[in-house]
Amino acid sequence: MSEFKELIKSFSKSREYVRDFFVYGFKTRDEFGGWSGRTYDNERRRLESWLSGYVRQDYTEKGKNIYLSMDSNLLDTNPLYRVWKAKSFTDNDIMLHFYILDYLLQSKKETADGITDGILDIYDMMFDSQLVRRKCNEYAKDGILTKEKSGREILYSLNPSFRELLSSCPGLEDALKLYQLSSPLGIVGNTIMDNASLTNDIFRIKHNFFVHTLEDEILSVLLQAMHEEKAVQISIKSTRSEAMHTMEGVPLKIFISTRTGRRYLCLYLPAKRRFTCARLDSVKEVFVKEPFPPYKEIKEKLEKNKISAWGVSFQNEGHTRLEHVKLTLHISESSEAYILNRLQREGKGGTILHIAPDTFTYEISVFDANEMLPWLRTFIGRIVDIESDCQKLNSLFRRDFFAMYHMYFEEN
């Protein structure tokens, strides 16, 4: 039996496990399909090690189930960031990291051979100079070291410390404490906090979906393709059937729902000449392809179109351009002004009219009225009428409502 290791080489398998443990949290050992029992045991043990304090377990008839329980309102950082800090390394990697950086702190500028000799002199550690050169080049590529030519020699030097910048811009310290939780790719901000030994003792975050960080590597590749105005080929795993398929398109924007926690990649499909959205958490691989020359023109088109999208759909089943929705609500003028506020702030610029005492209408035209259904249901208890040229919306709302009513009042 191979020795258990806390660190991992590749992120993709652990990403799926952590996601399942975190999002679902009811699967027992037998219910984790696709991998052997041994793999499950190792992944579970790693998860318990990385995220100790957040792992809970229950015993059910089907066996023990492990799950992650995190109340984002109570946390100073995203515990799932720890998964990103579990990359395995070799003894040489870690030794060269500390010896090269410490040596350059003293000697300022040096060749790879000079650094190799210096490490032997000062720390009594011997390395192959090729290894040292390779690590120095790697760090120069990553931006940690500066590499410059002086005559026939290549000199390496340490780039400035982040602490220096912090001392002249102290507000950046507090900003990082916020952004590591609130911004996209907050994990990177969190590694900067590690770099400067900072901990967040000021900010809390609400409506944050910690699980998004598991998609951050895919996201950063897509962002780069967007900035370089290039097309991509993506491999998608269906969240329902788990089947894999590929799609080619031009990545334009990331659509985010602050309510449901879903994130989508918005793509333009040149062959079909339309926009589409794919769940970001279903994208498993990205291959960056060639530049797409009319990128800016298409992006402008998206900016105009997105105003009429309620969510992420740019077309409807009736193939009409826009579908109209009119919602009539009973709202007490004297005591329920907050409902009007809700319509204003959540209604995406729809028109609100006061049509009778305690009665208001809200109207909007969108590409796909069906997308509004979950939001419309949040007004249950006040809905006088829903009118729409999307017949499915009317019938679904009424069918679901009566099913709900039956469930609570007529079942049992």
Partner 1 sequence: MAELFSEVYNCYYQVIKSLIEKKNYISEDELNFRIKNNGFEESILYLLPKLTKEGWGFYEKENGILHSKLSTDFYVPLTDLQKSYLKSILTDDKIGLFLSDRELHKINEAFAHISPLFHGDDFYYYDRFADKDDYKNPEYKKHFQTILSAIKKQEYLDILYESRFEHRVHHCYLPCRLEYSIKNDCFRLLAVNQHNLRNPRIEILNLSRIRETAPTGKRVTRLPDINRSLQRSYYKEPVRIIIKNKRNALERAMLQFANYEKNTRRLDDNTYECLIYYNKKTETELLIEILSFGPMIKVVGSEAFLQLIKERLERQHAMLSVRTPPS
CB closer to partner 1 out of 152 and 377: 377
Q: Which residue has the tokens 């609100």?
A: 352
Q: Are 119 and 139 in contact (CB under 8 A)?
A: no
CB 152 → partner 1: shortest distance, Å? 26
CB closer to partner 1 out of 35 and 402: 402
CB closer to partner 1 out of 271 and 279: 279
CB 72 → partner 1: shortest distance, Å? 5
Q: Determine which residue in the list 168, 297, 334, 357 makes contact with partner 1, applying CB under 8 A.
A: 168
Distance, first Cα to last Cα, the chain: 53
CB closer to partner 1 out of 152 and 168: 168
Applying CB under 8 A, which part among 32-40, 176-184, 319-327, 358-366 lies near partner 1?
Answer: 176-184
341 forms part of the interface with partner 1 (CB under 8 A): yes
Report the alpha-carbon distance of residue 303 to residue 104 in Å, rounded: 49
Count of chain residues binding partner 1 (CB under 8 A): 146
345 forms part of the interface with partner 1 (CB under 8 A): yes
CB closer to partner 1 out of 206 and 319: 206
CB closer to partner 1 out of 319 and 408: 408
Between the CA of residue 280 and those of 83, 211, 213, 286, 347, what are the distances in Å?
Answer: 19, 12, 11, 11, 25
Cα-based torsion angle of the residue sequence 118, 122, 127, 131 in order, rounded to the nearest 10 degrees: -50
Report the alpha-carbon distance of residue 359 to residue 328 in Å, rounded: 7
The residues near 18 (Cβ < 8 Å, ≥ 6 apart) are 47, 68, 80, 83, 214
Count of other CB atoms within 10 angstroms of residue 137: 15
Report the alpha-carbon distance of residue 172 to residue 159 in Å, rounded: 19
Residues in 79-138 that interact with partner 1 by CB under 8 A: 82, 84-89, 91, 93-95, 97-98, 101-102, 105-106, 122-125
Residues in 12-41 that interact with partner 1 by CB under 8 A: 22-26
The residues near 104 (Cβ < 8 Å, ≥ 6 apart) are 110, 115, 145, 156, 157, 158
**Binding-site string for partner 1 from residue 354 to residue 373, where x marks contact by CB under 8 A and - marks none:** -------------------x
Residues in 280-319 that interact with partner 1 by CB under 8 A: 306, 309-312
CB 95 → partner 1: shortest distance, Å? 5
C-alpha 393 chain-centroid distance: 31
CB closer to partner 1 out of 203 and 363: 203
Applying CB under 8 A, which part among 32-40, 285-293, 361-369, 400-408 lies near partner 1?
Answer: 400-408
The continuous run of DSSP H or E covering 224 comes out as helix 216-227
Residues in 237-276 that interact with partner 1 by CB under 8 A: 239-240, 253-262, 266
CB closer to partner 1 out of 40 and 262: 262
Q: Are 286 and 225 in contact (CB under 8 A)?
A: yes
For residue 219, give the 3-state DSSP assignment: helix
The residues near 397 (Cβ < 8 Å, ≥ 6 apart) are 373, 376, 377, 386
Name the DSSP class of 8: B
Lookup: tokens for 396? 């679904």
Q: Determine which residue in the list 29, 49, 322, 359 makes contact with partner 1, applying CB under 8 A.
A: 49
410 forms part of the interface with partner 1 (CB under 8 A): no
Residues in 180-239 that interact with partner 1 by CB under 8 A: 181-185, 187-189, 191-192, 194-195, 197, 201-211, 216-217, 220, 223-224, 226-227, 239
CB closer to partner 1 out of 96 and 112: 96
Q: Are 20 and 32 in contact (CB under 8 A)?
A: yes
CB closer to partner 1 out of 92 and 129: 92
CB 60 → partner 1: shortest distance, Å? 6
Residue 263 forms beta bridges with which residues? 256
The type of residue at 98 is F
